[in-house]
Copies of this chain bind each other. A is one copy, B any other.
Amino acid sequence: MSTIKLKVEAVALDWKGTPIVVLREDAGQRAVFIWVGIGEAAAISMHLEGQQPPRPLTHDLIVLILDTTHAKVERVVITDVRGSTYHADLHLRTEGSANAIDCRPSDAIAVALRTGAPIYIDGDLLDRLDKERKESEIEFSPGATPVDPGEATVH
C-alpha cells in the first residue's frame, strides 16, 4: 500500500454545525475532510491552538498510558471509507512487536498530534476521494445550472 503524508490544517464546522477535520497533502494541494465528534474535535483543536486543559483529556490519558507501557505510536494511516465512515490504523510499536489497531481517524489524529507521529492516507483512497469531491463540485457548481432562477421569472 502506497501512502501519502498529510498535515492537519484546521478544525472547522460544516453548515449544520458538525465539526470537520481538514487534512491536506504535505507535499500537494489535495484535501481530506473528515466529520468527527465534538469531543474529538475539541481534543484536536485544543492541541492545534496550544491550549493546555486543566486536567488531562481522554487523548492525553492515552498518551500517559502509552508512556507507562513503553509503547510508541509510529504512524497513523487513514485506510478506508465505508459508507460515510472513515477507518484508520494506529501503528503501535511495543517492546516485542509492531501492531496496527483499527480505530476512528479522529482518535488517531488526536493521538498523532500529541505524540508527534506522522499521519498518512492510503494513496488509492486519496485519489478516489479527490475524484469524488471534484465530481460533486461539478454537479453542484453554478455552471451546472445555466438558468439563473432570478432571470427565469422575467421571461
A residues whose Cβ falls under 8 Å from a Cβ of B: 37-40, 54-56, 58-59, 61-62, 64-66, 68-71, 85, 87, 90, 92, 94, 99, 101-104, 107
Contact = CB atoms under 8 A, between A and B. Distances in A.
Contact of A68 (B39, B59, B62, B94): B94
Nearest to A103: B61
Contacts of A99: 68
Copies of this chain, whole number:
2
B90 A61 contact: yes
Contacts of A71: 65, 68-69
Nearest to A85: B55
Given A85-B54, A102-B56, A92 B68 contact: yes
Closest 4 CB pairs of A and B: A39-B39, A69-B69, A69-B71, A68-B99
A58 B37 CA distance: 11
Contacts of A69: 65-66, 69-71, 92, 94
Given A55-B104, A68-B71, A69-B70, 20 more contacts: A39-B39, A39-B58, A40-B58, A56-B103, A56-B104, A58-B62, A61-B62, A61-B101, A61-B104, A61-B107, A64-B103, A65-B65, A65-B66, A65-B69, A65-B71, A66-B69, A68-B94, A69-B69, A69-B71, A70-B94
A58 B58 CA distance: 7
A139 to B, nearest CB: 28
